[in-house]
Amino acid sequence: MPDTDLTLARTGGRKLARIVYDEGQIAARVGEMGRQIAAEIPEGEPLLVLGLLKGSFIFVSDLVRQIVRPLQVDFLVASSYGSGTTTSGTVNLLYDPNADFRDRHVIVVEDIVDSGTTLNRLMPMLKERGPRTLEICTLLHKHIATNLDWEPRWVGFDAPHEFLIGYGLDHSEDFRNLPFIGSL
């Protein structure tokens, strides 16, 4: 698919290899996921949607508007990289949510699951807080983690093994605002 003037304007003139998922595909799938979550979590029971920042913020915003039931939203920021470019294996909570987890259905919303390091370290920490259930919802799953301890319950798309940007995903903090997911 050739880059349009609008796409080039949004990427600062940088050409993409391709658009992997367009706005319509994303909107349709997020709507389906919202309906699945609403149907699978018992009605009338407390639901907390916990977005993992920064990458999930657009997905969380669209997803919670598709879950037709009462819920609360909070966010957390976790890092396993520190100042380096490879994971340290240790997860630090840079922002810890204030929400009470006890006896609630908690859904951790992630933009993309790739190595699984952050989720493998984060989920046991969250489980200690006593949620009724603790599940993962991810927009993209690369299926490359060799030792993923916590499989996502809801997956938007099986992602190609490419470097993806847009719809919250970044490259050096750029491109999060793209309304589609593209490949560099």
Q: Could you list the active site residues?
A: 114
Task: Measure the CA–CA gap between 160 and 138, rounded to whole angstroms.
Answer: 14
Nearest to 72 by CA among 40, 99, 90: 99
**What is the token pair recorded at 107?**
């859904």
* Residue 182 and residue 165 in contact, taking contact as beta carbons nearer than 8 Å: yes
Tell me, what amino acid is at 151?
Answer: E
Query: Residue 31 is inside which H or E element, if any?
Result: helix 23-40
